[in-house]
């Protein structure tokens, strides 16, 4: 019986808006008065004030405006232009490995052998009739 009475009293207090104690007239809660900015050490300041007090530092200059401009210029030059011009340079580099020349030469050899009626590939790299072999002794 006593547990039921305690449960009923706790539910009544929760319905009134208080947790375990009386909330006053009608269960209304009083909010604390509004404290001006800067008086409460736990309140956050606006972003613009925080940026002026502690600006982002990229390491290019002591002046925040010049630092931001230099950072953007370095990243634009270093990333955009370097990547684009680097890719163009690599694309138009000379054929140092002679891969394109070897492909064209192979196509010419295939066309010449087809015109002569010879097979495209033979088992002998050199013509055995033209090789000077050592005597068999």
pLDDT tens, position by position, for the chain (137 residues)? 788 887 788 777 777 665 545 555 555 667 766 766 666 666 667 777 877 777 788 888 888 889 999 999 999 998 888 899 999 999 999 888 899 999 999 999 999 999 999 999 888 888 888 999 888 87
> What per-residue confidence (pLDDT) applies to 28?
63
Contacts of 22 (CB under 8 A, 6+ apart): 13, 16
pLDDT confidence of residue 65: 87
Q: Is the dihedral of CA 20, 24, 29, 31 positive or negative?
A: negative
pLDDT of residue 114: 96
Three-class SS of residue 9? helix
- What's residue 109's pLDDT? 94
Q: Is residue 65 part of a domain?
A: yes
Is there a domain that residue 81 lies in? yes
Tell me whether residue 48 is in a domain.
yes
Tell me whether residue 133 is in a domain: no
Q: Is 8 among the domain residues?
A: no
Q: Is 61 inside any structural domain?
A: yes
Count: domains in the chain = 1
According to the model, what pLDDT value does residue 26 have? Answer: 56
Q: pTM of the entire structure?
A: 0.35
Specify if 13 maps to a domain. no
Phi-psi label, residue 25: left if phi above 0, alpha if psi -120 to 50, beta otherwise: beta
Angle at 66 between CA 63 and CA 70, to 5 degrees: 135
Predicted confidence at residue 20, as pLDDT, reads 47
> Structural domain of residue 105, as residue ranges?
43-119
């Amino acid at each position: 019986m006593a547990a039921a009475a305690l449960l009923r009293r706790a539910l009544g207090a929760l319905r009134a808006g208080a947790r375990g104690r009386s909330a006053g007239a009608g269960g209304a809660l009083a909010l604390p008065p509004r404290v001006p900015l800067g008086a409460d050490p736990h309140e956050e300041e606006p972003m613009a004030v925080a940026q002026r007090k502690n600006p982002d530092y990229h390491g290019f200059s002591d002046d925040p405006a010049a630092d931001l401009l230099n950072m953007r210029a370095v990243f634009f030059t270093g990333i955009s232009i370097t990547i684009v011009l680097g890719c163009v340079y690599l694309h138009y580099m000379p054929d140092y490995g002679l891969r394109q020349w070897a492909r064209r030469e192979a196509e010419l050899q295939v066309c010449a052998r087809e015109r002569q009626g010879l097979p495209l590939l033979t088992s002998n790299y050199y013509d055995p009739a033209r090789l000077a072999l050592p005597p068999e002794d």
